[in-house]
Amino acid sequence: MANEPVSTWFKLYCLTVMTLVAATYTVSLRYTRTASSVLYFSTTAVCINEVIKLLLSLVMLVRETGDVTRCKASLVQHIFRSPRELLKLSVPSLVYAIQNNMAFVALSNLDAAVYQVTYQLKIPCTALCTVLMLNRSLSRMQWFSVFLLCGGVTLVQWTPPESTKVQVEQNPLLGFVAIAVAVVCSGFAGVYFEKVLKSADTSLWVRNIQMYLSGIVVTFIGVIVTDGAEIMEKGFFYGYTPWVCMVVFLASVGGMYTSVVVKYTDNIMKGFSAAAAIILSTIASVILFGLQITMTFVTGTTLVCISIYMYGLPKQDTSKITSTHKEETQKLTSV
Across 251-255, average pLDDT: 81
182 domain-assigned: yes
Domain hosting 14: range is: 8-334
**Coil vs helix vs strand at 163:** strand
Question: Confidence band (pLDDT; 50, 70, 90) for 322?
Answer: very low
User: Quick one: pLDDT band at residue 290, thresholds 50, 70, 90?
Assistant: confident
| Paired strand residues for 291 | 163
Query: DSSP code of 316?
Result: P
**Residue 275: exposed, middle, or buried by beta-carbon count in 10 A (0-12, 13-18, 19+)?**
buried
Confidence at residue 335, expressed as pLDDT on a 0 to 100 scale: 44
Residue 330 lies in a domain: yes
Q: What is the DSSP string of 278-313?
A: HHHHHHHHHHHH-B---HHHHHHHHHHHHHHHHHTS
Identify whether 1 is part of a domain.
no
Instruction: Give yes or no for residue 271 having a pLDDT over 90.
Output: no
Minimal CA–CA distance to 289: which of 186, 165, 205, 121? 165
In the predicted model, is pLDDT for residue 260 greater than 80? Answer: no
Report whether 190 contacts 208 (CB < 8 A): no
From CA 5, how far away is CA 11, in angstroms rounded? 11
pTM: 0.82
- Name which of 293, 252, 261, 300 is nearest 29 in CA terms: 252
Per-residue pLDDT, 261: 66
Short-list 127, 149, 100, CA closest to 254: 100
- Assess if residue 2 is contained within a domain: no
Tell me what pLDDT residue 17 has. 85
* Mean pLDDT lowest among 35-49, 71-85, 88-102, 316-330: 316-330
Determine the pLDDT at residue 9. 80
Total structural domains within the chain: 1
Does position 169 have pLDDT exceeding 80, yes or no? no
